[in-house]
Structures are given as C-alpha cells and as structure tokens.
Structure 1
Amino acid sequence: MANHTAALLATVDADKATLDRARPLPAHTVASLREKLMLEWTYHSNAIEGNTLTLRETKVVLEGITVGGKSLREHFEATNHRDAILYVEAIVAKHEALTEWQVRNLHALVLKSIDADQAGRYRQENVVIAGASTMPPDFMHLPAEMAGLMHWYDDAGATHPIERAAELHTRFVKIHPFVDGNGRTGRLLLNFELLKMGYPPAIIRKEDRLAYYDALDTACVSGDFSEITSLVAVSVQRSLDLYLEVLGLRK
C-alpha cells in the first residue's frame, strides 16, 4: 500500500476512534446526520450515472413530491436508491453476512419500476463499458465470477475495512454482472462494508467522477487498489468531519 494511502487510513481511523469514544451519540443528531448523508449519497450516486435532479430536487422527490420537467425514471432512481440504502442498513443492523442473494436484492431495488425484466437478474448478454480499459467477463461466466467474488470476500477479513470495501466495489464493477445499475449497486456494496465496520458512508461526489473512474480503471487493469482506496478514504473522511463538527468533537 502506498504511504499516502496508509497515512489517509491512519487519519480516518484516529477520527473514527474519537467518534466511537463519544458513543452513544444524541439520537436527534444521529437522525439528522443520517438523513443528510442519505440525501447526498442518493444525489451524488445517481448524478454520477447521469441523473439530472439537483440536490434540492432529489430532497423534494424523497419527500414524495413530483418535480416538473424531470422523467419518471429520474424520480424512481431517487426513491429506489433511498430504499436500497434502507435495505443496506437493515442487513447491517441484523449482522447478516453478504451473499449473492443480497447483491441481487440490492440491484432489484435499484432498478425497481425502471426495468422489471433486468432487476436482480444477471445479464444474459455481453457488454462493454465506455471509457474502460478492461472488458467485463462473458455472461456465461457470471455465475462463476460472482461465486469467486464471494469467495474472495469471505477470505478478505484481514485487510483494513476501507481497503476491503474499495476492493469489493472494484471487483464487483469489473465483473459488471448486470445490464444496468452496476455503479449504484457497487457503491451500495462499498458502503455496506463500511457501515458494517462502524464507519460513516463514503459519498463519492459527482465532481470527483473523473478521478473515480480513473482510479477504478487503474485498479481493474493493474490490480493496484491504492488509488481507489485513497479516494474512498477521503470520502469517508468528509463524512467523519461532518459528524465531528456537528457533535463539537473537531479539535
């Protein structure tokens, strides 16, 4: 691991320890922080994929109001993503181990009412990813590839949680098991792993889209996960900073 990445992880862990020492946190503060991060996670994850709802419009849609001039699909992408986050939180709360079944359930939520035929179903055709240097595996190999991902995950417990989350995300995106919705599902998996280990979510911002794609591409081509791990660590740090500032714990 690069020295820069190791330093980032050490800073994140020091701040997480500060936050952990303050637990239990005030209930209303936690609820408002969760709502803010859920909104930002939904907005940015969808915006990375081309959804044109603004942050404020996303908030309104999540409150059940229709925004004029925006497609039905964009509305569903917002509410579906929120429902998928709730599912991630439920898995974490029940201490359930990650399985392929849950991955498919997550994807089914992401594409609910958008593409019923493909929701939760591994692709039955081959695809290419625009701008990527690697080719996703042949659809015939997807069952073996996904089984391999779960096998890797079961053995990855010794690595730092942020490294493990970044690598899980990258390996999933490289397999690209679904026709659509892989990015959103991959970022939900990333944060499943972080939330499970007591970290706040990593919100990869729309503005960081290019750096994010470059880091993913580097990892997929070379097997070097330091860039994507650093990007995830910086994203976690932003969420931690928010917690520490609101709670008055920022030194």
Structure 2
Amino acid sequence: MGSKHIMTQLAKLDALKEKLDSYRPLDPQVVNNLHENLVLQWTYHSNAIEGNTLTLKETKVALEGITIGGKTLREHFEAVNHRDAILFVEDLVKQQRPLDEWTIKSLHQLVLKNIDAQNAGQYRQVNVLISGAEHRPPEAFQVADHMHTFIHWCNTQAQSLHPVERAARVHGEFVKIHPFVDGNGRTSRLLMNLELMKAGFPASVITVEQRLPYYEALDKAHCTGNYEDFIALVADSVEQSFEPYWWALGIN
C-alpha cells in the first residue's frame, strides 16, 4: 500500500461506493441512460488516446452505424469494436469470471476485429518499442511466460489489494509486457475496468486530455516500480466516474 494520499483517496472511493450502493437497485431508465453515456465516453477517449481522430459526436454517429466522410474505415471499426468489447466486459462482470488467457485474447480479438485479423488475439512474435517511453517490453519469446506469471499474480496476490489499486496495477503490468503488436492500450483499459466493475465500482474513463500525465505515470511505474502516481491518477478518474450517477439521481 502506498502513501497517505493514496490511502485517503481509496477510503474516499469506498465511501462513494457505499453511498451509491445505498441507492441500488437503480431505476432501469437511469441505468440505460448512464450506460449509453459511458459506452460513448469510454470508446471516444480510449480510441482518441491511441490517435483515432473521430470526435465525440462523430463517435456517437459511428456507433449508430453511420459512416462519416473523410474518416478511415479503421477509425469506424475502432469505435464499433470498442463498444462490442465493453459489452463483453460487462458479460464477464456478470459471470465474475477470474482473469485468464482466454479472456485477454478474446478481448483483444474484439479490439482488432476487421482491422488486423492476423494479429487479433495472438501474442506478438516480434520485439517492440513503446514510442516515447523509457521502458522496454520483454522480448517476443518471453511474452507467453510473462503473461502466465501476470495472470497468476492477478488471481492470487493482487486479490488482497484494494480494488482500485488492483485495477491500476493490472493495467500497468499488462502494458509493461505489451503482449500484442497493437491494441495494448485499449485492452489494458478494458482490463482495468473489468477489475473495477467486478468489485462493484463504476467503470472509469481516462480522458484524452490526461494523455501526457497518464503516459508519464505509466512509464515511471514501469521503470522504477513506483506505482503511486499511476494509482493516484486512476483513483481520480474513478472518483470522476461517480459524478454521472449523482447527476442522474439528483443528489450532490
């Protein structure tokens, strides 16, 4: 467990969760409305962090099945695929399924569907560098072993961590391995939210405006093993994710 600041943040999040839980079950119309908004925000921001140029409104239109002139087919697929991946995550939450290789590869397959059939759901066979980062992911031949260790850790030691810290570390350790040629960022944020949602927290959206501090905190965690900045950033983002609920419920 980290600094006093993080301890305080996590205690605050527990209190917010308790407050939200006291209003459950929520009105189905409220749930649907919040869900639609979440899918749109999460899809837009997660794709924008990776360089997708669809705006929030264009993403909404793309999710309705309408193509936008001047935008690539790939960008449209990224939006639709991401929505499908969120729905898959929600199914996994209902099943309370422990994390395994099948889950991770299936999620990744959805992220790259119709974009890169050759690499979708397949661990990379090449060495990669993360542009702009100091950290170097393991060599391709080590990926399977690293993933095996990662999944074991997720289902053992990680279970004793606070859910928000666990979600942040699952995201960070996954990206550190960078097991796929492409789509690691999106997959890691889906896995982060899978952990949060399984523990009854709302899904959190790391915004494109946070891209620089997000990358910096991740690289620091990877190079030094110090996760404090990254856990704090994820905790802030989880705190924000309660806001739409208070708005929808008409409470402060």
TM range (shorter): over 0.9
Matches of 1:236 and 1:37, distance apart in 2: 13
> Does residue 160 of structure 1 match 2:167?
no
Q: Secondary structure at the match of 1:22?
A: coil
Q: Secondary structure at the match of 2:160?
A: coil
Q: What is the 5 A alignment of 1:8-157?
A: 8-155=9-156, 156-157=158-159
Q: What is the 5 A alignment of 1:168-207?
A: 168-207=170-209
> Does residue 244 of structure 1 match 2:229?
no
Length-normalised TM-score, structure 1:
0.98
Matches of 1:19 and 1:248, distance apart in 2: 12
AA of the residue aligned to 1:185: T
Q: Secondary structure at the match of 1:246?
A: helix
Asked whether the 8 Å contact 1:40–1:203 carries over to 2, the reply is yes
TM superposition shift of 1:248: 2.0
Which ranges in structure 2 are unaligned for 5 or more consecutive residues?
A: none
Matches of 1:226 and 1:199, distance apart in 2: 20
TM superposition shift of 1:27: 0.6
TM superposition shift of 1:249: 2.9
Matches of 1:142 and 1:87, distance apart in 2: 24
Q: Secondary structure at the match of 2:242?
A: helix
Q: Could you report, residue by residue, the CA deviation over 1:27-71 in whole angstroms, capped at 9, with x for unpaired residues? A: 100110011011000000000000000000000000111111100
Matches of 2:57 and 2:34, distance apart in 1: 16
TM superposition shift of 1:24: 0.6
Matches of 1:8 and 1:203, distance apart in 2: 17
AA of the residue aligned to 1:69: G
TM superposition shift of 1:232: 0.8
Between 1:87-96 and 1:108-117, the stretch displaced more is: 87-96
AA of the residue aligned to 2:80: T
Q: Secondary structure at the match of 1:157?
A: helix
Between 1:2-11 and 1:233-242, the stretch displaced more is: 2-11
Matches of 1:62 and 1:170, distance apart in 2: 28
Matches of 1:241 and 1:11, distance apart in 2: 14
Matches of 1:41 and 1:151, distance apart in 2: 28
TM superposition shift of 1:241: 1.6
Asked whether the 8 Å contact 2:98–2:155 carries over to 1, the reply is no
Q: Secondary structure at the match of 1:123?
A: coil
Asked whether the 8 Å contact 2:93–2:194 carries over to 1, the reply is yes
Superposition misfits of 4+ residues, deviation over 6 angstroms: none
TM superposition shift of 1:148: 0.4
Asked whether the 8 Å contact 1:195–1:201 carries over to 2, the reply is yes
AA of the residue aligned to 1:145: H
User: How much is the aligned-residue C-alpha RMSD, in angstroms?
Assistant: 0.8
Matches of 2:61 and 2:206, distance apart in 1: 21
Count of aligned positions: 250
Percentage identity across paired residues of the two chains: 55
Asked whether the 8 Å contact 1:142–1:177 carries over to 2, the reply is yes
Q: Secondary structure at the match of 1:93?
A: helix
Matches of 2:139 and 2:65, distance apart in 1: 40
TM superposition shift of 1:96: 1.2
Q: Secondary structure at the match of 2:235?
A: helix
Matches of 1:211 and 1:8, distance apart in 2: 18
Which ranges in structure 1 are unaligned for 5 or more consecutive residues?
A: none
Asked whether the 8 Å contact 1:5–1:226 carries over to 2, the reply is yes
Length-normalised TM-score, structure 2:
0.98
